[in-house]
Structure 1
Amino acid sequence: MIFNYKYFLTTIFLFLAEVSIATFFKDIFWLRAYFGDVLVVILIYTFMLTFLEIKNKMLLNIGIFLFACVIEFAQYFHFAEWLGLKDNKIAMIVLGNSFSWIDILCYAMGSFCIFTFHKILK
């Protein structure tokens, strides 16, 4: 296990951006509905790389995209409510409560941004 300060600082920045979108910019629909979903994939990616040294970053990127899709499909079945979290506001925000194909497209865009970023660095 490692600790990568660059990815840690990036994770903190992205987390603060997500919190800002959810609180201060919640009235800007496209920002909250779409851009937040693009950023969350990147946030999870940088969080993972903060603590893990992963050689195959493409595989990590695909895994995170698939994880986001699983969470999205779980929303279709109201997974958070099944877990008894309906009254837990934070859990409902994190896990979501409604399925959307557009969200999956946003996750794909976030994964594409990660892919593009790594191609540019090489």
Structure 2
Amino acid sequence: MKFNPRYFVYTILLFVTEVLIALFVHDQFIRPYIGDFLVVILIYCFVKSFLNTPVVPTALGVLVFAYTVELLQYFRIVEVLGLQHSRAARIIIGSSFEWQDILAYTLGILMVILIEKRNTLFKKSRL
């Protein structure tokens, strides 16, 4: 376990971006798809802020987590838990399953892996 300030700054910036999207963007593309694309990157950066773990296993763990949350939405977990009247629960957990969300999560994690691998290659080439 080692604190990484660079990933923590990314986490904060992504969190602020997500909040701004949630509060001010009410369209049919950015909020549902870009928000989901960014949320897995946000979670990845949060994990990497505190854990010095390999890129691919960490990214895949985040992806499995996102898929699990989406699957719980399919089974209407918010209603099962009796939280359907909680706006916070509906925002954080979500309330509807969408295949497009699975695609957005997958693309977000692929972006993470590509950027991380590019950065690794760039660092090696500078040596």
TM-score scaled to structure 1, two decimals? 0.94
Offset at residue 110 of structure 1 (A): 0.3
**Paired position in structure 1 for 2:10:** 10
Give distance in 2, aligned partners of 1:75 and 1:40.
Answer: 16
Overall identity of the aligned pairs, in %? 43
For residues 24-59 of structure 1, what are the alpha-carbon distances to aligned partners after superposition, in whole Å with 9 as ceiling and x for unaligned?
Answer: 11x2220001000000000000000111111x2101
Q: 1:65 and 2:63 equivalent?
A: yes
Give the gaps of 5 or more residues in structure 1. Answer: none
| 3-state SS of paired residue (2:29) | helix
Instruction: Please give the secondary structure, in 1, of the residue aligned with 2:89.
Output: helix
How many residues are paired up?
120
In the alignment, the residues of structure 2 paired with residue 51 and residue 87 of structure 1 have an alpha-carbon distance, to the nearest angstrom, of 34
- Give the corresponding residue for 2:37: 38
Instruction: Measure, in 1, the Cα distance between the counterparts of 2:98 and 2:117.
Output: 29
* Deviant stretches of 4+, over 6 Å: none
Instruction: Report 1:32-111 matches (<5 A).
Output: 32-54=31-53, 56-111=54-109
Q: Distance in 2 between matches of 1:101 and 1:30?
A: 14
Shift in Å at residue 106 of structure 1? 0.2
- Quick one: which amino acid aligns to residue 6 of structure 1? R
Q: How many Å apart are 1:11 and its aligned residue? A: 0.2
Show CA shifts across 1:56-99 (max 9, x none): 21011011111101110110110111112112111110100000
Show structure 2 runs of 5+ residues with no match.
122-127
Q: RMSD of the alignment, in Å?
A: 0.9
